[in-house]
A and B are shown apart, each in its own frame.
Chain A
Amino acid sequence: MSQAGTADLPAALDAGDRARRRKATAAWRGELLRIGAIAVVLGLWQLSGLFMNPIFISTPLAVLKAFVQSIADGSLPSAFVSSLLEMVIGLAIATLAGFGIGIAMGRVRIAEKLFDPFVNFFNATPTIALLPLMEIWFGTDIRARVAFIVVICIWTIVINAVSGVRNVRRGYADVGTAFGLGPLAATTKIFIPAAMPFFLAGMRVALAQATVGMILGGQEVGESGLGGLTENYGSFFQTDYLIAAIITSTGLAMMLFGLLKLFQYRFCPWIAASAAARR
């Protein structure tokens, strides 16, 4: 590089500059298109209010007004916080227990024999049917809702942890064996990190399931949190408030998805990087 003729240098820079500018323009165009699409949909939605009963889909401005009002009267923030709390506790329990069981099943034959029939059974069970059972067990408060979030998403976590640990590259496992790691050290130093892509994929699905569990639990068990709000607004045909609550629920889930992404970016940068290097 240092030997490149100085005469070529400005030309090369120019070409690089032009390429960069082209790329920037393309990115801008893409961004404009995206914003435009959203604006058109919102615009049509607003126009629909001129000839449609607002009970069906309301209008963006009405939703915005409902949103501001339910923030102002504190109902939306408090529902958000209590739903978030249920999600965090439920997911934490499901993640710890699910990974524990899944990793044990993937690494210890006895654990597999022990848990496998139960995991298969509960994974096939329509978990929504368990909601009344949670109420019988835990009463009609936060404990039942958290328990429901746990039972709705834990099986996905277990199954992904098992496949993650099972699908570790034989070469990685060989490294542990050849260099003398015992079964426990091999599990923590090789199998768990190697299975992270599977774990994270499982967590993304589990997160979506947990969100459904959170809303459903809120609707059915003591009308609480965001689920309770949707139930309540729905039964009074307050569609604008209902949509504001739905959007807030989506926002809550997206926030947690974002945290998951951040976790991967921060603690497992190798997943993306080594996949890119292989390409």
Chain B
Amino acid sequence: MLEIEHISHTYETNGRRVEALRDVSLSIRDGEFISFVGPSGCGKTTLLRILDGLTEQSGGRVVFNGVELEGVSQEMGFVFQDINLLPWRSVRQNVEIGLEARRMPAAERRARAVEALRMVGLDEVADVPPYALSGGMQQRVGVARALAIHPKMLLMDEPFGHLDNFTRETLQIEVSKLWSKLGTTVVFVTHDVDEAIFLSNRIVLFKGRPGRLAKIIEVDLPHPRWEFNVRGHPRAIEMRESIIEYLGIRDEVLV
């Protein structure tokens, strides 16, 4: 169980104070797939970075299984929107980086990295440099890098934001399958409502200026989702409409 208690975050940019998050509280259950959805600048990525310890909050605390988190959590695997594979390392060496930080012996590290790469179907390109791969494959490596540390929780920051539609849908199915196989808790940030409905048990809606938690929606669609047409499902259509209505996306477009 991960408890987010009264998290707030403000920072200064060009002498202007920005309130990125105001008093966000939320409990994340073990094993659930939860998405943070909202427009740009609503603080969803900031909250995810705070959960990992990449950004230090200005107020509030994060409690993971009864322990207050301080600094960077070693229990969480992070998947970046910009992927950030290190070009001077091979695919496998990229996946090994978290294991090097944990001072794991080389042979064990290698085996773990190959195992993680196999989970995303890329064990055959382990020795290739990352820039030789397509964007979709690179993000698979990003996922493998996070999985290699056997995280208790997977934090994914708009991981498919830069990918084309076809690749994105393939990867959504793969992530969904990985999640149901591994049972790891996943916190997934996206601004794609369909993506959130397809993947999640719960969707947390955020609104901007200041960034705040606006609403939590239970996604009461059956699993596994890749076995039916989620997008065409009447309940999903309904949910999508109400989310878009609620976030006021339609109003903004009309204005």
Interface, chain A (partner B; CB < 8 A): 169, 171-172, 174-182, 185, 189-190, 193-194, 196, 268-270, 273-274, 277
Contacts and interface: CB of A to CB of B under 8 A. Distances in A.
A189 B100 contact: yes
A33 to B, nearest CB: 35
Nearest to A182: B101
A274 B101 CA distance: 25
B84 A180 contact: no
Please list the 9 inter-chain residue pairs (A to B) with the smallest Cβ-Cβ separation, ordered nearest first.
Answer: A179-B98, A180-B101, A171-B84, A270-B87, A178-B78, A274-B87, A277-B131, A274-B131, A193-B88
Given A177-B54, A180-B101, A185-B100, A273 B72 contact: no
A189 B101 CA distance: 10
A180 B119 CA distance: 22
B19 to A, nearest CB: 22
Interface in B51-71: 52-54
Interface in B33-53: 52-53
Contacts of A176: 97
21 contacts: A169-B84, A171-B82, A172-B86, A174-B80, A175-B80, A175-B97, A176-B97, A178-B72, A178-B80, A179-B78, A179-B101, A179-B149, A181-B97, A181-B101, A185-B100, A185-B101, A193-B88, A270-B88, A270-B129, A273-B129, A277-B131
A111 B80 CA distance: 32
Most-contacted residue by chain A among B87, B97, B100 (CB, 10 A): B87
Given A178-B80, A273-B132, 19 more contacts: A171-B80, A171-B82, A171-B84, A174-B54, A175-B97, A177-B53, A177-B54, A179-B98, A179-B149, A180-B74, A180-B98, A180-B102, A181-B100, A193-B86, A193-B88, A194-B88, A270-B131, A273-B131, A274-B131
Contact of B86 (A175, A268, A273): A175
Contacts of A193: 86, 88
A174 B80 CA distance: 9
Contacts of B102: 180
Given A185-B100, A189-B100, A172 B149 contact: no
B9 interface: no
A196 B101 contact: no
Nearest to A178: B78
